[in-house]
């Protein structure tokens, strides 16, 4: 027997009073702004990881105006290490729109909220439900999993038809009253009880009548994602270091990985890196030294970086000023850096470590 949609809400609300999470920082002083930032940070990132980032972000940008007025570099700086940097750029863009088009007040209507950069239907619903108690269904990854299992929706959640079925179920389950508690509860149950790998059915308030549980299909529902072949990409990063130890950084384009962050100049081949050094740097070292390789995993591929250290006297040609800077690793500037590049730059300040890291350039390299 499948549970009635109305029973789902009452069971979850009752469960949340006793077992839900009540002490997360965004659960206090639930303004739309605070909920919005938390919802964006929590996309693809676990609560434990988000907590320190959220606290620092709120300290630096306590309201939407503070965020809108800040340089994007300040925002990306606080996002360093959290990944998926488009989220930070969209947050900043949306804050500017709220300041300029909505007089600094978070928009009131669902349509206006959902029109902001980086806010889809589910996030808009979550913000309005959690901060204002307005009745809107949500359908993030956790909610999709819970509803699929409870109601036995066996299609691929990425398919449009399945998604539409799940939206209808989510709408049917969303209660008229206590929608804020219900919304938090269904997100919490997905994150802590009905987890992807080991659902804790024994402790679940929805176990009675749950399709997946009664059919022993917890591991088949939702349908596993089609596996993508993992690839790896190899690039060379030029560490151009001046006599004062400042290192040349370039701002990456907005699209693509690490969009908008500051990074070492990147090249497909070592010869391209050498050609750049010859043309753009003054008195570059002829044979760059190979530092230890760095591997960084993205969702669908691994990036393997070989840093090439070249000492130089500075820039020779005309550098594109807004998109390049000389970064002093000893006095780090407040800019957004990809986490592995930040680590590498910090290591360059340690002479003993630095000497150990330098290895001979391969012959003919």
Residues that bind ligand SF4 (CB under 6 A): 146, 149-150, 193-194, 199-201, 204, 206-207, 210, 212-213, 218
The DSSP call for residue 106 is: P
In angstroms, give the least distance from the CB of 219 to ligand SF4. 10
In angstroms, give the least distance from the CB of 201 to ligand SF4. 3
In angstroms, give the least distance from the CB of 212 to ligand SF4. 4
Rounded to whole angstroms, how far apart are CA atoms 52 and 50? 6
Kindly tell me which of 212 and 303 has the beta carbon lying closer to ligand SF4.
Answer: 212
Kindly tell me which of 33 and 151 has the beta carbon lying closer to ligand SF4.
Answer: 151
Neighbours of 219 (CB within 10 A): 11
Rounded to whole angstroms, how far apart are CA atoms 53 and 106? 22
Residue whose token pair is 């990036």? 303
Residue whose token pair is 């996309």? 43
Dump strand ranges (E) for the chain.
231-241, 247-251, 262-263, 266-267, 281-282, 289-290, 294-297, 301-311, 314-315, 324-327
The per-type count for the chain, helices as H runs and strands as E runs, is 15, 10
Kindly tell me which of 213 and 342 has the beta carbon lying closer to ligand SF4.
Answer: 213
CB 43 within 8 A of CB 122: no
Which of 39, 220, 270, 347 is labelled catalytic? 39
In angstroms, give the least distance from the CB of 24 to ligand SF4. 21
CB 265 within 8 A of CB 250: yes
Rounded to whole angstroms, how far apart are CA atoms 158 and 325? 42
The b-or-e profile of 160-173 (16+ CB within 10 A means b, else e) is eebbebbbebbeeb
Rounded to whole angstroms, how far apart are CA atoms 212 and 154? 10
Kindly tell me which of 221 and 240 has the beta carbon lying closer to ligand SF4.
Answer: 221
CA distances from 182 to 46, 134, 216, 338, 348 (A): 20, 11, 26, 37, 50
> Is 134 among the residues known to form the active site?
no
Kindly tell me which of 149 and 274 has the beta carbon lying closer to ligand SF4.
Answer: 149
In angstroms, give the least distance from the CB of 159 to ligand SF4. 21
In angstroms, give the least distance from the CB of 133 to ligand SF4. 25
In angstroms, give the least distance from the CB of 178 to ligand SF4. 20
The DSSP call for residue 27 is: G
Instruction: Identify which of 262, 207, 343, 222 has the alpha carbon closest to the alpha carbon of residue 77.
Output: 262
User: Looking at the annotation, which residues are catalytic?
Assistant: 39
């Amino acid at each position: 027997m499948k549970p009635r949609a109305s029973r789902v809400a009452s069971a979850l609300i009752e469960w949340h009073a006793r077992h839900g999470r009540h002490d997360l920082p965004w659960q206090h002083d639930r303004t739309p702004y605070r909920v919005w930032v938390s919802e964006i940070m929590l996309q693809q990132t676990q609560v434990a990881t988000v907590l320190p980032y959220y606290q620092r972000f709120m300290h630096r940008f306590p309201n939407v105006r503070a965020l809108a007025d800040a340089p994007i570099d300040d925002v990306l700086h606080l996002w360093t290490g959290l990944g998926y940097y488009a989220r930070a750029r969209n947050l900043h863009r949306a804050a500017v729109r709220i300041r300029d088009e909505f007089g600094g007040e978070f928009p009131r209507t669902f349509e206006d909220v959902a029109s902001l950069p980086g806010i889809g239907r589910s996030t808009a619903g979550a913000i309005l439900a959690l901060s204002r108690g307005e009745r809107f269904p949500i359908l993030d990854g956790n909610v999709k999993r819970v509803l699929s299992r409870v109601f036995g929706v066996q299609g691929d959640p990425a398919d449009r038809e399945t998604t539409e079925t799940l939206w209808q179920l989510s709408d049917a389950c969303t209660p008229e009253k206590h929608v804020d508690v219900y919304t938090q509860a269904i997100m919490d149950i997905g994150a802590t009880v009905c987890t992807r790998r080991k659902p804790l059915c024994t402790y679940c308030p929805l176990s009675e009548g749950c399709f997946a549980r009664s059919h022993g299909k917890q591991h088949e529902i939702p349908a596993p994602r089609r596996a993508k072949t993992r690839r790896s990409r190899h690039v060379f990063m030029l560490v151009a270091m001046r006599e004062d130890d400042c290192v040349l950084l370039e701002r990456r384009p907005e699209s693509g990985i690490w969009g908008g962050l500051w990074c070492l100049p990147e090249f497909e081949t070592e010869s391209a890196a050498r050609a750049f050094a010859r043309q753009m740097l003054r008195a570059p070292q002829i044979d760059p030294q190979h530092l230890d390789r760095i591997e960084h995993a993205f969702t669908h591929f691994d990036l393997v970086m070989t840093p090439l250290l070249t000492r130089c006297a500075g820039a020779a040609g005309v550098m594109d000023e807004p998109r390049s800077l000389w970064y002093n690793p000893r006095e780090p500037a407040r800019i957004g850096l990809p986490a592995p590049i930040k680590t590498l730059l910090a290591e360059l300040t340690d002479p003993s470590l630095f000497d150990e890291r330098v290895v001979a350039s391969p012959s003919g390299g």
